[in-house]
Amino acid sequence: MPSAFSVVALVAAYNEADIIHHVIADLIDQHIDVYFLDDGSTDDTVKIVEPFVGRGVLAIERLPARGMDSNVFDWERILRRKSALAAELDASWFIHHDADEFRESPWAHLSLHDAIRRVDALGFNAIDFAGLDFWPVDDRFRPGDDVRDALTCYTEFAPYDRVQIRCWKKTAHAVDLASSGGHEAKFPDRKVFPLRFLLRHYPIRGQAHAERKIFRERRNRFLEGERARGWHVQYDGTREGESFLREPASLTPYDANEVRLHLTLPPRDVEARAEQERLGARLEQRTAEFAALQAFSWHQRDELARLQEEAGAQSAYVKTLTAALAQATRDIERWRDSVTDLTRRLDELHRSFSWRCTSPARTVIRLLRGR
């Protein structure tokens, strides 16, 4: 373990040149080191990050193309690489960090670094974040502007995104990011701090940015296998030509003090909340399975009724055959008795007739023998 308390943000990016400067600078200003992963950006993302190397950025790693096809977004590969880096790098804590977000302490007077150190001192080894999605209401943001000044209204994260246990202490155990799609850092004996930290997310910065990001740089690059696992659902339902500028009335103006107050009153048991959400998903699955089973049961019940009806008909037929067979058996017995009696009588008649017919011959034989 490192001798000094240090935190490293593992940041992966693809074409985030319009925002990456402020994201990296904010982490460094909060005394967070950065290990930067570039997933094949075709804009100036890497060029903008390069001046920070040695001044808060530990390294820039260019992820190799995935086989022969470089035009894919292999999220699991990125998550597994971050897990490997968490084992390789010398740091006290790590953050699984995106390139379009800002993470903050729930205490205004503490930087992110110092707040994580306080959590560590209290004996916890993981931190959850309350996520806010900030949306554009106009097109005034320009690349290089501080997006936090341009986009000032938000919505809470969608239900599928609300578990954000993405900051953890380095332990002797490997961390698993991939199984949850990056929502949770999983490892043995995890103890999540009950107070959530703050995550400000800026996925869409304007109309042109949305059209480029969603339809050209993201949606057509998602892997079908990852989609089948329920990942990358954030752009489902979007259509080309629609407006991505939100109505201000549909959003909440950002007030840092109010948001932090909301986070602290009351503290929430995030492990229980995460488990509750998992159980809710499991309940929905079980409900669907029960409905399917019930439908099958009704079909089986109808089939059973039909089979019982057929069995009843067969049983009646068997009873009829049994009765006919019994009657035939009785008739055969009577016929056998009649035949036996007739045979006996014929035999008696034959013996009587033969005796009378041979009587003269027997007399002659006795006379010849001198009897």
Hey, how many other C-beta atoms are within 10 angstroms of the C-beta on 65? 13
pLDDT of residue 349: 67
pLDDT of residue 123: 96
Q: In angstroms, rounded to a whole number, what is the distance separating the alpha carbons of residues 200 and 206? A: 17
Long-range contacts of 154-161, Cβ-Cβ distance < 8 Å, separation of 24 or more: 154/200, 154/251, 154/252, 154/254, 155/250, 155/251, 155/252, 156/130, 156/131, 156/132, 157/130, 157/131, 157/132, 157/133, 157/201, 158/133, 158/234, 159/277, 160/230, 160/233, 161/131, 161/234
On whether the CB atoms of residues 242 and 210 are closer than 8 A, the answer is no
CATH 2.60.40 fits 7-268, yes or no: no
pLDDT tier at 369, thresholds 50, 70, 90: confident
Percentages (nearest 5) of helix, strand, coil residues in the chain: 50, 15, 35
On whether the CB atoms of residues 151 and 256 are closer than 8 A, the answer is no
What backbone phi and psi angles, to 5 degrees, belong to 73? -110, 95
**DSSP structure class, residue 246:** P
Q: What is the amino acid identity at position 125?
A: N
Q: What is the amino acid identity at position 198?
A: L
On whether the CB atoms of residues 205 and 131 are closer than 8 A, the answer is no
Q: In angstroms, rounded to a whole number, what is the distance separating the alpha carbons of residues 147 and 214? A: 19
On whether the CB atoms of residues 246 and 137 are closer than 8 A, the answer is yes
- Residue 203's nearest CA partner among 299, 158, 136, 278 is 136
What the block records as the tokens of 77 is 């590969």
Whether the predicted pLDDT of 67 surpasses 70: no
Hey, how many other C-beta atoms are within 10 angstroms of the C-beta on 274? 19
Q: In angstroms, rounded to a whole number, what is the distance separating the alpha carbons of residues 277 and 273? A: 6
Hey, how many other C-beta atoms are within 10 angstroms of the C-beta on 169? 22
Write the CA distances from 200 to 97, 151, 197, integer angstroms: 11, 11, 10
Give the pLDDT mean for 89-93: 97
Choose the weakest-confidence range: 30-39, 240-249, 342-351: 342-351
44 HSE (CA, 13 A, CB side) = 9
pTM listed for this prediction: 0.70
Q: In angstroms, rounded to a whole number, what is the distance separating the alpha carbons of residues 145 and 152? A: 13
pLDDT of residue 322: 84
Instruction: Kindly give the pairing relationship between strand 57-62 and strand 129-134.
Output: unpaired
Radius of gyration, CA atoms only, the chain: 44
354 - beta bridge partners? none
Percentage of the chain beyond pLDDT 90 is 58
* Digit-coded pLDDT (tens) for 159-205: 888 899 999 999 999 999 999 999 999 999 999 999 999 999 999 99
What the block records as the tokens of 158 is 């969608």
**Terminal C-alpha separation, the chain:** 143
- Residue 269's nearest CA partner among 126, 171, 155, 158 is 126
